Chain A
Amino acid sequence: MASENILEVRNVTHRYGDFIALKDVTITVPEERLTALIGPNGAGKTTFYNVVSGKYRPSRGSIIFNGVNVTGYSPHKLSLMGLSRSFQITNIFHELTVIENVMIPIALHEGKGFYFWTKYRKDRHLFNEAMKVLSLVGLEDVYARVTRELSYGDRRLVEIAIVLAGKPQLVLLDEPTAGMTPEETEKMVHLIKNLATTTETTFFFTEHDMNVVFSVAEYIYVLHQGELLAQGKPEDIRADPKVREAYLGGSLDT
């Protein structure tokens, strides 16, 4: 039987040479629970996502996605299976138009990547699907623009659109509000909450801004120096002295 946990990461260790970036980390994400991974800079959050999304193979441990052991699978395979991710540093097709950015994952997920004789610009279905995704993130008006010309916040939204385009079951967002202005951050937080409730996709995000985490997440994992420090509901995490210490006080109360 397929498990109700969309993601189970079991005892994962990851080394960069001699440096241990993740140490025996076990994290479970149930379907439809908006989960967050927090921790100070350098805690290993991005490394964790790189391991889960197939960028790196973990030194030890296993990754179970939707009941399937996917340890060592390549990123494109995981993407086609329904595991999608964003990056801390905006990772999009800067020289292509906004709609082309979204058409690429849709076409790939529809198995059209090796269609040699059909014009993608004449594919009405592809265009309509891409516009649907763009309207989810509010970018439908700028669909024909070259992505490079957009504001930073809108480029981050293009990446969210790319991530959603293949109708994934699980989405990993690596610091989706990184580098954003307070207004852009608020918009992004609202968007994530909204998507998590209106779609069937499960969202799992990392964040360093505590306010964002406590207002959005239903369940939180805390990573510190590569080790899992705590896990629980937002109110438990907020009260946890170990977590306060890891963040050197202060920032949790702001």
Chain B
Amino acid sequence: MVHQKIGRILEYPFSGLIVFLVLGLFVPLVIPTYWVMVVTEILIMGLFATSFNLLFGYCGLLSFGQAGFFGVGAYVTALLLSKGVGSYILICIASITATLIAAYFIGYLCVRRDEIFFAMLSLGFGMMLFTIAHNWREVTGGSDGLPLSTVPPVDLGFSKISLFHPLHGYYFVLAFVFVGLCILQVVVHSHFGLMLKASRENKERLAFSGGNVASVRLVAFLMAGGLSGLAGMLFCIFNRMATPDMLHWSFSAKPVLMTILGGAEVFWGPFVGAVIFFVLEQLVTNITENWMFVLGLLLIPIVLFFPRGILGTVLNLMKSSGRGSHGQ
């Protein structure tokens, strides 16, 4: 049957990336301009949620301060752009480097804790970053943030491409998000990825097997932080501003919600969660202002009855129905 085949294809590690790339390249060509903007935001938040899930799904660490790193990436980008820096390569390197430095210090202090202690520590450090963004007016612009009057064109050598055109902006974001997702996908299937699963499963056994649990976690924390910073950079370029609410703990809740919607146990769960989150938000806000209420209504049955999330549940059904008819 067709869906069994799909199930088997989905188990092949890189088929997800291929599907993503094909959809990513062609979908914006057939949807209205307004939706191109929505899908751009989905890409950015999908990368953000997937990097968050490297910690949550693969290491069992609930980071509640991930927005702090997203915000560092966004502010570094805004600062450089407002100072007239025109090279996106340079901006990308600078925002990721700054995020990695922040993630190193915060991660060093967080990774020796578990569960609620890790979550609260990461929340606390995230709020410290928020406070810096909010109160250091001379540099960060305080509560107004840093609005950008313009963003420079992308210099491809043979031509310069303006990011003001929604489709250009979209493909610009797609390229970075695709690279970010490729990195994550490769990492979770690597020897290191096996150590991440081991640290989530049984960190004592990992230690007594020769693994330095704190180092394994710290490296994962750096990767998740760096890619969240990359997402923040894209968000800043896309919205032409950096604001303190990007670092607020309520912004950290977004990847958590998206991951729970889509499913933490599967690589594409958080991304699918981001798609559902934004598409629903668009549809619901057309009808009612109470989008958060509807989101709550949706989350409750998922948490209670489908703890694997929407994608996790669907993939699981496909797998078990595939197995069922194998036996016949």
Contact = CB atoms under 8 A, between A and B. Distances in A.
A47 interface: no
A76 B211 contact: yes
B194 interface: yes
A109 interface: yes
A104 B211 contact: yes
Which of A92, A100, A107 has the most B CB atoms < 10 Å from its CB?
Answer: A107
A133 B126 CA distance: 45
B148 interface: no
Interface string B170-182: 0000000000000
B187 interface: yes
Contact of A123 (B191, B197, B219): B191
Contacts of B87: none
A103 B209 CA distance: 10
Nearest to A92: B205
Interface stretch (A23-31, A56-64, A111-119, A194-202): A111-119
Interface residues of B, number: 26
Given A53-B208, A76-B207, A85-B208, A118 B201 contact: no
B49 interface: no
Contact of A104 (B187, B189, B198): B198
Contacts of A112: 191
B155 interface: no
Contacts of A114: 191-192, 195, 219
A80 B208 CA distance: 9
B216 interface: yes
Contacts of A104: 194-195, 198, 206, 209, 211
Contact of A118 (B191, B204, B207): B191
B230 interface: no
A162 B194 CA distance: 15
Interface in A20-38: none
B210 interface: yes
A120 B190 contact: yes
B186 interface: yes
Contacts of A94: 201-202
Given A76-B208, A109-B210, A113-B216, A93 B192 contact: no
Nearest to B195: A113
Contacts of B209: 76, 79, 104-105, 108, 162, 165-166
A104 B198 CA distance: 8
Contacts of B219: 114
A234 interface: no
A88 to B, nearest CB: 13
Contacts of A124: none
A251 interface: no
Which of B191, B211, B212 has the most A CB atoms < 10 Å from its CB?
Answer: B191
B201 A116 contact: no
B192 A115 contact: yes
A74 interface: yes
B213 interface: yes
A10 to B, nearest CB: 23
Given A92-B202, A104-B194, A107-B194, A76 B213 contact: yes
A114 B199 CA distance: 13
A113 B197 contact: no
Interface in A64-114: 74-76, 79-80, 84-85, 91-96, 100, 103-105, 107-109, 112-114
Contact of B198 (A93, A117, A121, A165): A93
B187 A116 contact: yes
Given A91-B204, A126-B191, 12 more contacts: A53-B208, A74-B207, A75-B208, A79-B209, A96-B198, A103-B194, A105-B210, A108-B211, A113-B192, A114-B191, A115-B192, A121-B189
Interface of A: 53, 74-76, 79-80, 84-85, 91-96, 100, 103-105, 107-109, 112-121, 123, 126, 162, 165-166
Interface of B: 13, 186-187, 189-195, 197-198, 201-202, 204-213, 216, 219
